[in-house]
Amino acid sequence: MRFRRVLAVFLAVTVLTYAHGNTFTKVRYNGGSLSTTVKPDDWDNKLTVDSESIVLALKDGQTITILPKQVTSLSYGQEAHRRVGTAVALAFLSLGVGALFALHKTKLHFIGINYTDSNAKKQGLLLQGDKSNFRAIIVALQGVTGVPVSVSEKERDEIPAGVAVQAVKEAETAPQASAPNAAAPTAPSSTSAQSAVTQDATESVAVTSNPDGGEIYVDDSFMGNAPATLKLKPGSHKIRVSFSGYKDWTRDVTAQLGTEAHITATLEKAD
């Protein structure tokens, strides 16, 4: 009986919390329907979730508002990359989701929100939560939408107990080709990125950085964080590695059929 009372109180508090809203300030925007100059490693964006709306406010002043009833899918981890990338043609999806997660030294808590806009067009946001708040974000989003969280079986344990999930088998989480008519990605030059980096590319370029974790850009489009392995089509491409507090590192490479390359970007501290 005591347990039931505690549970009832907890659920009541949870409902009230959803009604009054949850605000999260340590959130990264990694791509999606909203075009922005905000960098993927910037944390100081704000996500507010309440029963009336889901609002993402970016550091550059842009704001996007989604009605809970517009949300068609919530996802976490690799599945978030796959679902949002398929909906809005994120260029860096074609790096290979599995490789991106396997090579990164820290856990990447990506959260995907897929929705339809007022014109019934498919849209999506790929967010990254901090280790201290990603579970709370997931709980808040599901609390107002009622949509289960899609997650790969191996990442199921990251989802808080009591949250409805839709477990996806490993084979289903493989990256898919982006929809041809999808919205343009947030990267500055998405067209060149999609033509340069593809799943059937012919040269592998392994990129590492010193310090570790530098942002990798191919032809001015964000491709992920080092270390990562890029797949480039034959031809000339510009690779740039950036890291806060350091000078940008750039190199022009010429990809050739059936070759492999290893690049280490040693970054110099900014003056």
Q: Are 104 and 210 in contact (CB under 8 A)?
A: no
For residue 217, which phi and psi values (nearest 5 degrees)?
-120, 135
- 168 and 79 housed in the same domain: yes
239 domain residue, yes or no: yes
Over residues 215-228, the mean pLDDT reads: 81
Looking at residue 61, its pLDDT comes to 92
- 52 and 167 housed in the same domain: yes
- 40 and 134 housed in the same domain: yes
pLDDT at 239 over 70: yes
pLDDT at 73 over 80: yes
Beta-bridge partners for 73: 114
76 domain residue, yes or no: yes
45 domain residue, yes or no: yes
> How many structural domains are present in the chain?
2
pLDDT at 148 over 50: yes
180 domain residue, yes or no: no
Q: Are 181 and 166 in contact (CB under 8 A)?
A: no
Beta-bridge partners for 125: 32, 113
228 domain residue, yes or no: yes
Query: In the structure, what pLDDT confidence band is assigned to residue 95 with cuts at 50, 70 and 90?
Result: very low
Report the SS3 class of residue 198: coil
Query: What's the half-sphere exposure (Cβ side, CA atoms, 13 Å) at 51?
Result: 7
**Separation of alpha carbons 155 and 157, rounded Å:** 5
CATH of the domain at 164: 2.30.29.30
Higher-confidence residue: 154 or 9? 154
- 154 and 204 housed in the same domain: no
The boundaries of the domain holding residue 259 are 190-266
Using alpha carbons, select from 123, 121, 129 the residue that is nearest to residue 49.
129
106 domain residue, yes or no: yes
Higher-confidence residue: 213 or 91? 213
- 97 and 195 housed in the same domain: no
DSSP 201-269: -SEEEEEEEESTTPEEEETTEEEEESSEEEEE-SEEEEEEEE-TTB--EEEEEEE-TT-EEEEEEEPPB
178 domain residue, yes or no: no
**Separation of alpha carbons 165 and 147, rounded Å:** 9
96 domain residue, yes or no: yes
pLDDT averaged over every residue in the chain: 75
The residue from 111, 143, 173 where one domain ends is 173
- 168 and 199 housed in the same domain: no
Using alpha carbons, select from 42, 91, 244, 76 the residue that is nearest to residue 154.
76
